Structure 1
Amino acid sequence: MTTTQHPPLRRREQSGWAIIENAPDTVRHRVLLLPGLFCTAEFYTAMLADPALADAGVLAMGADPPGFAGRPVPSGFDYSIERYAAMVEDFAAQEAVGLIVGHSYFANVGIEIAARGRYPGRLLLLSPSFSRDDEEHDLISLDEAGHVPVLGTLVWLGIDPTLKKGMRDRLPSDRFTELFAQMKRNPHAANRHLVAGFFDHLRRHGELASRLAGTDNVVWVGRGDRDEVGFTAQEQATIEAAPHVTLKTIPGAAHFSITDEPHEVDELILELLTLHPA
Structure 2
Amino acid sequence: MRATASIPSTATLRAVVAPVLLGALAIAAWQGVVVAFHVRPFVVPSPSAIAAELSGNVQVIGDAALGTARNALIGFVVGVLAAVGGAALAAAVRVVDRATAPLVTAASVVPIVALAPVLYTAFGTDNRSARVVVAAITAFIPVYVNSLRGLNTVAPIHRDLLRAYAATPWQATRTVTLPGALPYFCTGLRIASSVAVISALVAEYFGGPVDGLGKAITSAVSSSRYALAWAYVVGAVVIGLVFYCATYLVERAVLRGRPA
Q: Structure 1 length as normaliser, TM-score?
A: 0.22
Larger Rg: 2
Q: Structure 2 length as normaliser, TM-score?
A: 0.23
Structure with larger RCO (C-alpha < 8 A, sep 6+):
2
Q: Which is strand-richer, 1 or 2?
A: 1
